[in-house]
Structures are given as structure tokens and as C-alpha cells.
């Protein structure tokens, strides 16, 4: 019998996560959470918004996963209940890879040998994480990203859609990489960078800025 799963979020990424759950995992979508209490009771993507994050304990459903992509919010808003790991059935994940709780692997993504994904990481649709990469807590590897071997990504890092990271590169915590960038040098923590090759254009002065 399938187990119930709550998706914390009720936007576009939540729908992608729900599709992955419904495509063959041993879970059912019990409902969605949204921090806007006015949405409670609203129908959303084949289920219902059943409350805010503050309601999850009284709902009595034992597993959850984030359904939004913002790295800073996911790092700060983890719920004090066991997180589910969701892998779309079309994804390829090496048996030697490590996926910590709350990881989401999207359709067509590849996670290769000895890669280590820390909690609440998103590897989105069609992204490739090559051998021996390590990705920190709550980072988001956007659709079509390519990480070569032995890349190190810090916590709460946003790697924009279609970017390419050369082998052995390190990207520090809370960095943000613009879409389509090609990274050939290390990127410091808190940096915002983009381009071909990627160059730092500013430093984030606060989370989310």
C-alpha cells in the first residue's frame, strides 16, 4: 500500500514533484502546503492545499518534500519531520551515489558514480551531475545544467538553467550562477556570477538579495 506524502509548496515546482511521485514511486500525494493560509482548501494539481507549514504535525502525515525551488527559503524552512527523497522514474542514479533526505531528482536527470547530494538538493529536469561531485544542503541544480567530475557546490547555491561547470571547480555557499554560464574558475561564497566564461558581478549582501 502506498504511503502518504505532503508537498510543501503549491506552485510550478510542486507540480513537477507531484508528477514524479505519481509516475511510479510508492507514495501518494496527500496534499500541498502553502504558507498563504488563504489558499487552504483550494484545489491544486489533483489534490488540495491542506494547510500551512504550521499544520503539518496535526495533519499526521509522516513524510514531506519541498515543492519550491528558492534555495534560501528551503534552507531556512525545513520541517521537523522525516523528509522523503523523490526520484523521477526516468532519471538515472548510480547505485554508488548518496542521496540524503529531501533530495529531488527530476525527469531525465543523471547522477553518476559516487556523487553525494546533501539534504533538500534539487537536481532538476535533464541536469547531469557527474562522478564524485558533492552538492551542499538546499542547492538547486536547474534544468539542463552540466556538472563535470569532482565539482564541489556549497549550501544554498543556485546554478542557473543550462549552465556548465568544469571539472574540479568549487562554488561557495549561497552563490548564484546566471543561466547559460560556463564556469572555468572557482566562484566564492555569496558571489553572483554569469557569462561565458562566468565572471563575478557582485556579492550578495544578504540571503535572497
The whole-angstrom separation of Cα 15 and Cα 8 is 11
- CATH code of the domain made up of 3-68: 3.40.50.20
Decide if 3-68 and 86-203 have a common fold. Answer: no
Q: Give the residue extent of every domain in the chain.
A: 3-68, 86-203
The whole-angstrom separation of Cα 82 and Cα 160 is 28
* Kind plus residue range of the DSSP H or E element containing 27: strand 27-33
What pLDDT, on the 0 to 100 scale, is given for residue 117?
Answer: 98
What averages of pLDDT result for each successive group of 10 residues across the chain (209 residues)?
84 97 87 95 97 85 90 87 93 98 98 98 98 98 98 98 98 97 97 97 73
What pLDDT, on the 0 to 100 scale, is given for residue 45?
Answer: 97
* Kind plus residue range of the DSSP H or E element containing 5: strand 3-8
CB 103 within 8 A of CB 119: yes
Q: Phi-psi category of 118—alpha, beta or left, where left has phi over 0 and alpha has psi -120 to 50?
A: beta
Q: For residue 38, which phi and psi values (nearest 5 degrees)?
A: -70, -15
Domain boundaries 86-203, CATH class? mainly beta
What pLDDT, on the 0 to 100 scale, is given for residue 78?
Answer: 81
Per-position DSSP letters for 91-117, written without gaps between them: -EE-TT-EE-TT-EE-TT-EE-TT-EE
What pLDDT, on the 0 to 100 scale, is given for residue 93?
Answer: 98
Amino acid at each position: 500500500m502506498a504511503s502518504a506524502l505532503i508537498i510543501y509548496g503549491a506552485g510550478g515546482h510542486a507540480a513537477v514533484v507531484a508528477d514524479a511521485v505519481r509516475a511510479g514511486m510508492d507514495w501518494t500525494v496527500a496534499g500541498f502546503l502553502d504558507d498563504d493560509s488563504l489558499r487552504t482548501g483550494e484545489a491544486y494539481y489533483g489534490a488540495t492545499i491542506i494547510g500551512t507549514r504550521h499544520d503539518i504535525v496535526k495533519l499526521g502525515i509522516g513524510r514531506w518534500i519541498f515543492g519550491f525551488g528558492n534555495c534560501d527559503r528551503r534552507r531556512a524552512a525545513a520541517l521537523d519531520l522525516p523528509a522523503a527523497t523523490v526520484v523521477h522514474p526516468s532519471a538515472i542514479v548510480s547505485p554508488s551515489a548518496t542521496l540524503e533526505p529531501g533530495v529531488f531528482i527530476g525527469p531525465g536527470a543523471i547522477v553518476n558514480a559516487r556523487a553525494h547530494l546533501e539534504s533538500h538538493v534539487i537536481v532538476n529536469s535533464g541536469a547531469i551531475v557527474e562522478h564524485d561531485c558533492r552538492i551542499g544542503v538546499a542547492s538547486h541544480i536547474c534544468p539542463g545544467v552540466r556538472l563535470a567530475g569532482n565539482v564541489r557546490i556549497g549550501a544554498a547555491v543556485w546554478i542557473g538553467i543550462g549552465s556548465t561547470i568544469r571539472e574540479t571547480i568549487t562554488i561557495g555557499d549561497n552563490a548564484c550562477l546566471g543561466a547559460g554560464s560556463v564556469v572555468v574558475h572557482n566562484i566564492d561564497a555569496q558571489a553572483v556570477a554569469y557569462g561565458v566564461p562566468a565572471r563575478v558581478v557582485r556579492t550578495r549582501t544578504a540571503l535572497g538579495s
